[in-house]
Amino acid sequence: MQLCNAYHESGPRIGLGQGDQWFNLSAYLARHVDDFPWMYAHPRPTMLDLLENHPNLLADASGWLEEMRSKTGSRAFAWPAPGRLLAPIGRPTKIVALGRNYAAHAQESGNEVPQEPVLFAKAPSAVCGPGDDILYPAGVKRLDPEIELAVVIGRRARRVEEAEAMTFVAGYTILNDITARDVQRSHQEKKWPWFRSKSYDTFCPMGPTLVLPDEVTDPHNLNLTLSVNGEIRQRSNTGMMIFKIPLLIATISSYMTLEPGDVIATGTPEGIAPLNVGNLVECFIEGLGTLQNRVVSG
């Protein structure tokens, strides 16, 4: 199953689908509001509202899908085309990202392969969605895309044991960790944090949908590619990650509480190269779809 966040002039609409069949979950929830008392405070729910109020999302979504697939439900809630998609999680409380989590990328950057996870943050305000423009900021001399598997947290996680960590995953999406490389290198030389170079507006495209765990048999065996104007620059497999998802969740939650909707960007493989204004960037991850964004002058 997949969840999407679709644009509507009166506010986003949540879709629930499987294969090519989609349903308007927002309409379904509104029709059954007495079954979802939390909706009285959130009459037009966002994806974050959904995650915060349904810690057993996979089981709940399965029941909703079955009911909407019924003859009556199909007539009332069928959604032939969700339309323009927004980022699955529009404003997570935090985005925790991994540096150098693929050995070849660490080496091409002139760094040693880390012995423990290298964590940094991206500002939630950097999030943009499928089809949105990536702004090339004035004054930045080099802009790089970085394809990453993003893990979305489904329930509050604090000091989670590695063996239980995957039960806290709501689903997966694609994240493009856009980086002002010249700014990052300048700050590294000064021993400053990477935060600014990673957090300009539009530096975190995400999407196209939130894919639930029932459709991802093994998140550590997904092919991924990043192409610019049709030319492949990055090609790898998530199995090449140094630190796997359970360890990442356990490690991060030992420092900070992860909230529903928080995003962990699991790192990028080798092949980083600069972008130019006008470039079309396409990020593909097996089973998750393709995230497309064009670079424009900012």
Q: In whole angstroms, give the CA distance from residue 77 to residue 17.
A: 11
**Burial, 231: exposed, middle or buried (Cβ in 10 Å; 0-12, 13-18, 19+)?**
exposed
pLDDT band at 10, cuts 50/70/90? Answer: confident
pLDDT of 106 higher than 80: no
Give 227's DSSP letter: E
Greater confidence (158 vs 8) lies with: 158
Whether 120 and 99 have beta carbons less than 8 Å apart is answered as yes
pLDDT band at 171, cuts 50/70/90? Answer: very high
How confident is the model at residue 80, as a pLDDT? 86
Q: What is the mean pLDDT of residues 96-106?
A: 90
pLDDT one-digit tens code per residue, 233-261:
999 999 999 999 999 999 999 999 999 99
pLDDT band at 11, cuts 50/70/90? Answer: confident
Length of the chain: 298
How confident is the model at residue 275, as a pLDDT? 98
The whole-model pTM stands at 0.97
pLDDT band at 104, cuts 50/70/90? Answer: confident
pLDDT band at 74, cuts 50/70/90? Answer: confident
How confident is the model at residue 107, as a pLDDT? 78
Beta strands (DSSP E) in the chain are 2-6, 13-18, 21-24, 95-99, 118-122, 127-128, 133-136, 143-144, 147-153, 169-176, 179-180, 204-211, 223-228, 231-237, 263-265, 280-285, 289-297
pLDDT band at 38, cuts 50/70/90? Answer: very high
Q: What is the mean pLDDT of residues 256-268?
A: 98
pLDDT one-digit tens code per residue, 177-221:
999 999 999 998 999 998 999 999 999 999 999 999 999 999 999
Whether 152 and 263 have beta carbons less than 8 Å apart is answered as yes
How confident is the model at residue 121, as a pLDDT? 97
Using DSSP, state whether 188 is helix, strand or coil: helix
Domains and CATH numbers, the chain: 2-77 (no CATH), 95-297 (3.90.850.10)
pLDDT of 73 higher than 80: no
Q: What is the mean pLDDT of residues 31-39?
A: 93
pLDDT band at 56, cuts 50/70/90? Answer: very high
How confident is the model at residue 108, as a pLDDT? 78
CA 166 to chain centre: 16
Sheet of strand 280-285, all strands in order from the earlier edge strand to the far edge:
133-136, 289-297, 280-285, 223-228, 231-237
How confident is the model at residue 229, as a pLDDT? 98
CA distances to 61, 67, 78, 263 from 71, rounded to whole Å, are 18, 9, 10, 36
Find, among 95, 131, 123, 43, the residue nearest to 261 by Cα: 95
CA 138 to chain centre: 26
Both structure tokens of 148:
């990453």
pLDDT band at 9, cuts 50/70/90? Answer: confident
pLDDT band at 111, cuts 50/70/90? Answer: confident
Percent of the chain with pLDDT over 90: 89
How confident is the model at residue 176, as a pLDDT? 98
Q: What is the mean pLDDT of residues 107-123?
A: 89
- pLDDT averaged over every residue in the chain: 95
How confident is the model at residue 285, as a pLDDT? 98
Q: In whole angstroms, give the CA distance from residue 257 to residue 264.
A: 13
